Amino acid sequence: EDAMTELTDLQTKAADHLWMHFARQSALEAGQTPIIVKGSGHHIFDDRGKRYIDGLAGLFVVAAGHGRESLAEAAARQAKELAFFPLWSYAHPPAIELADRIASYAPGSLNHVFFSSGGGEAVESAWKLAKQFWKLQGKPMKHKVISRAVAYHGTPQGALAITGIPSMKAMFEPLVPGGFRVPNTNRYRAEESGFTGTTEEEFGIWAADRIEEMIMFEGADTVAAVFLEPVQNAGGCFPPPAGYFQRVREICDRHDVLLVSDEVICAFGRIGHMFACDAYGYEPDMITFAKAVTSGYSPLGGTVVNDRVYEPFRHADAMFGHGYTFGGHPVSAAVANANLDLFEDEGLLENVRTNSPLFRSSLETLLDLDIVGDVRGDGYFFGIELVKDKATKESFDGPESERLLRGFLSKELWEAGLYCRADDRGDPVIQLAPPLTIGEPQFAEITEILRDVLVRAQAQL
Ligand code: PLP
């Protein structure tokens, strides 16, 4: 540790000047931060030329895989034609075409697209839109938002107030007032949330009813919206129990509360559909998206809004006084259109739907290890929960988790050639969300690496 290895030129510049996101600067300064220089298909390469499987699609982003010529070309073509113009009172063809296309993919009356440059901004926009919508309806007190424990919804101070991870908020309190939390759909640890039933359906109803309870605790006249991910990412991939979203929809209708499906991760193929609400058969009032809409070849996010919420904004001098310079950026919108062409030409949604059960069964072979408590998820989106004692589901405490995840697993998985996420925002989990292009041989390869590293992690305990 003390004998610092000589830093390369890039490492030195990084240590001197680059501020990392959600990461320890000390690792950067010690030269321990990987530097990624190239991507190709489902692989990435570091500055030493070593190759890794991109098991997280960058950050749930690179759905179509790395190195796609048609996306790079779409960006270049648009930059030459019209590199930039805002959507502030002027429009441009790439944003118009993309809005039309997204509306055609979105269910029911979700027909209007408000673009941003990323997911947190899409969430922020959805909350502001909900607040204004209720003011225009003559219900100005409806402003609060309900979301779930451990859910991540972004870092702007509004979106962070919707986020359910206290440690992530602590340094920035007080945040925007009005965020309230209910239990999530972690079935593996349902009893710890207070659920006493047995079946999946009972659990779905129980978890949905916590939302109604919170609406009533706070007063329906003060609640604007409920924000839920189709499959909750943070905590390690919690799919919705059967019947959950149907019950949530009923509750929202009963109390006149908007339902926002935060699909920043789940939209555009992660769950095998353009929009994941389709996978689970519910129709929200708004959908937030980002990430995979461009496969990351250029940044873009947005909020899809239904006819009802849009209606009061259509008339005379009404407007949504909100926007982002780069929202719906022409290059990003052109890239998104080309990316969605790839989705259609290559049948990426079908690939995910066909292969998801194989991915799941491959990962489930790891359940014979003592350290693997649960394998869960959907589509190309899985979490593996690690436990200290499988029989009691006892989890690792803070320092153990730190040693296991940061000290051992992250490093060893990386060394073994697999980029994925070892996370402890809830209980310790390994998360996988690879490009949507892969299939059975890659599942086997990923599982083999995981097995080898987990066996060694187990032996360490
Ligand atoms: N909402 C969800 C569900 C997310 O997973 C994320 C990011 O991972 C965000 C919002 C924030 O998106 P961004 O990082 O693009 O601001």
Question: Which backbone phi and psi does 262 adopt, to 5 degrees?
Answer: -85, 100
Q: How far is the CA of 115 from the centre of ligand 1 (A)?
A: 14
Evaluate: CB of 214 within 6 angstroms of ligand 1. no
Evaluate: CB of 107 within 6 angstroms of ligand 1. no
End-to-end CA distance of the chain: 22
The pLDDT of residue 6: 86
pLDDT tens for the 461 residues of the chain, in order: 444 568 999 999 999 999 999 999 999 999 999 999 999 999 999 999 999 999 999 999 999 999 999 999 999 999 999 999 999 999 999 999 999 999 999 999 999 999 999 999 999 999 999 999 999 999 999 999 999 999 999 999 999 999 999 999 999 999 999 999 999 999 999 999 999 999 999 999 999 999 999 999 999 999 999 999 999 999 999 999 999 999 999 999 999 999 999 999 999 999 999 999 999 999 999 999 999 999 999 999 999 999 999 999 999 999 999 999 999 999 999 999 999 999 999 999 999 999 999 999 999 999 999 999 999 999 999 999 999 999 999 999 988 988 898 889 999 999 999 999 998 888 899 999 999 999 999 999 999 999 999 999 999 88
Residue among 309, 248, 313, 255 nearest 282 (CA): 248
The pLDDT of residue 105: 98
Evaluate: CB of 263 within 6 angstroms of ligand 1. no
Closest C-alpha residue for ligand 1 atom 16? 120
Give the distance from CA 275 to its chain's centroid: 13
The pLDDT of residue 299: 98
> Two tokens at 94?
């790439």
Evaluate: CB of 153 within 6 angstroms of ligand 1. yes
Evaluate: CB of 164 within 6 angstroms of ligand 1. no
- DSSP state, residue 394: B
Evaluate: CB of 233 within 6 angstroms of ligand 1. yes
Residue among 107, 132, 127 nearest 321 (CA): 132
Which stretch of DSSP H or E encloses residue 455? Answer: helix 440-460
Whether the upstream peptide bond of residue 174 has omega within 30° of 0, thus cis, is: yes
Evaluate: CB of 119 within 6 angstroms of ligand 1. yes
Q: Ligand 1, from 59, 127, 148, 153: best to mutate by most atoms within 8 Å of Cβ?
A: 153
Are 435 and 346 a contacting pair, CB within 8 Å?
Answer: no
Collapse the DSSP code of 438 into the 3-class scheme (helix H, G, I; strand E, B; otherwise coil) and give the result: coil
Collect all residues with Cβ–Cβ distance below 8 Å to 301 and sequence separation of at least 6: 115, 116, 117, 118, 119, 120, 121, 122, 264, 288, 289, 290, 291, 293, 327
Q: Is the dihedral of CA 121, 274, 428, 392 positive or negative?
A: positive
Closest C-alpha residue for ligand 1 atom 1? 153
Collect all residues with Cβ–Cβ distance below 8 Å to 19 and sequence separation of at least 6: 25
Instruction: With 0.85 as the threshold, say if the pTM is over it.
Output: yes
